[in-house]
Amino acid sequence: MKITNVEAIWLQLPTVDERADGTQDTLVVKVYTDEGIVGIGEVDSSPMAAKAIIEAPMSHRIARGLRMCVIGENPLDIMRLWESMYQGSIFFGRGGAAQQAISGIDIALWDIAGKAMGQPVYRLLGGGFRDRLRAYASILFQETPEETYNLARHLVEQGFTAVKFGWGPLGTSEAMDLAQVRMARQGLGANVDLMIDAGICYDTVTALKRAHQFAEYDPFWLEEPLHPDNIEGYARLAAASPIRIAAGEQETTLAGFQALLDAGLAVIQPDVARVGGLSQAIQIGRMAVQRHRLCVNHSYKTGISIAASLHLLAALPNATLLEYCVEQSPLRQMLTRETFPVVDGYVAVPQEPGLGVTLDEDVIARYRVA
Ligand code: MG
């Protein structure tokens, strides 16, 4: 089998607002083969930047577009092709958008392998430890604490047993922070897990103070309170916080996750569409397993990322929670024909060959930019 083409499809809603909602655009990757199998992947990045990295012509030996690194090659040689893309983009890559772009092709290669072998991807990653994951609803803090309370009630009524609120007005004032978290907890009640995503809004001292203040509301974790480069702050925070500290969604490299684990984080959050795809996400997950920390996916895109995350988490011995974005964007809700319904708070791991997703080509046609 040979790769005949790589297509990077930039999708975007007609209006993109300045808020932390990654479901407003995406980059879908299709990898075509001479045997008719088409692999599907997704990149979480600036779609235009990642598309350019995939399609770029050769500047010199270590500055090549990712597409030309894999065309003509056997798609089943996944790690060899991953290395070819990584080495081919050393000059402008080794992290950031290049690593994010590698993710889309890598996920598509795993999809091809699963389809070619008639097996779900998690089995190719070593086999499934579970066939469903407990979904935590992931959504932004609302403008007012009362709106957050109402949304919390609504999500509990939908059967979620865990909910994360993030970003939004958190960090604007101490009073706002405490009111938002208090009302989130009141809306969820005592028996639903609450995660708080600070969205990089604190310095180290404030984050430590908030961790103690939020502890009263029994959050499952406090996520990304600090700038991703503030590793020293994360180490101080992890050592002194009464609640779990989670982070990692901005990281794209093994070294980045190694640093977060060394800093003592309780939870790391690789995004399969950012860290170089499933090939590297599974390595990151196993690093967490080795250290008895939790690995929970970051994912705030489409059904493609949800499916890839489910396969990743199914193949890790100690993963139980799934980030499950509940934004109502048509890209989040309608791009894949599979809807990943939440049943009794759980989402099933796809059992079809490959990722187990099919794309709605009408949705692609409607939102395609380039
Ligand atoms: Mg987050």
> Domains in the chain and their CATH numbers?
3-119 (3.30.390.10), 124-356 (3.20.20.120)
Report residue 176 as tokens: 């706002």
What does the pLDDT read at residue 48? Answer: 98
How much distance in Å is there from the Cα of 20 to the middle of ligand 1? 9
Q: For residues 35 and 37, what is the distance between their CA atoms, to the nearest angstrom? A: 6
Q: 34: pLDDT confidence band, cut at 50, 70 and 90?
A: very high
Each residue's pLDDT tens digit, 252-282: 999 999 999 999 999 999 999 999 999 999 9
Provide the pairing of β-strand 25-33 with 3-12: antiparallel
Closest C-alpha among 105, 101, 158 to residue 135: 158
Q: What is the pLDDT of residues 90-122, one digit of tens each?
A: 999 999 999 999 999 999 999 999 999 999 999
Whether 65 and 104 have beta carbons less than 8 Å apart is answered as no
Average pLDDT, the chain: 98
Which pLDDT does position 67 carry in this prediction? Answer: 98
264 near 292, Cβ under 8 Å?
no
Identity of the residue numbered 122: Y
pLDDT reported for residue 250: 98
Note the residue count of the chain.
370
pLDDT (0 to 100) of residue 299 = 98
Ligand 1 mean position to 63 CA, how many Å? Answer: 31
Burial class (CB in 10 A: 0-12, 13-18, 19+), 129: middle
Residue 335 CA, ligand 1 centroid: distance in Å: 22
What is the Å distance from ligand 1's center to 197 Cα? 5
- Over range 191-211, report the average pLDDT: 98
**How far does the centroid of ligand 1 lie from the alpha carbon of residue 169, in Å?**
14
Distance 56 CA to ligand 1 centre (A): 30
Over range 186-203, report the average pLDDT: 98
The pLDDT assigned to 318 comes to 92
| Contact predicate 110/356, CB 8 Å | no
How far, in Å, CA of 139 to CA of 271, rounded? 16
pTM of the model: 0.98
Secondary structure, 3-state, 293-357: CEECCCCCCCHHHHHHHHHHHHCCCCCCEEEEECCCCHHHHHCECCCCCCECCEEECCCCCECCC
CA of 225 to the centre of ligand 1 (A): 9
Average pLDDT over residues 4-10: 98
The pLDDT value given to residue 349: 98
Q: How many other β-carbons are positioned within 10 Å of the β-carbon of residue 317?
A: 10
Mean pLDDT to the nearest integer, 311-338 = 97
CA angle 92, 98, 100 (to 5 degrees): 160
Residue 244 binned pLDDT confidence (cut-offs 50, 70, 90): very high
Distance 2 CA to ligand 1 centre (A): 38
162 CA → ligand 1 middle, Å: 15
The rounded distance, in Å, linking the Cα atoms of 192 and 61 is 53
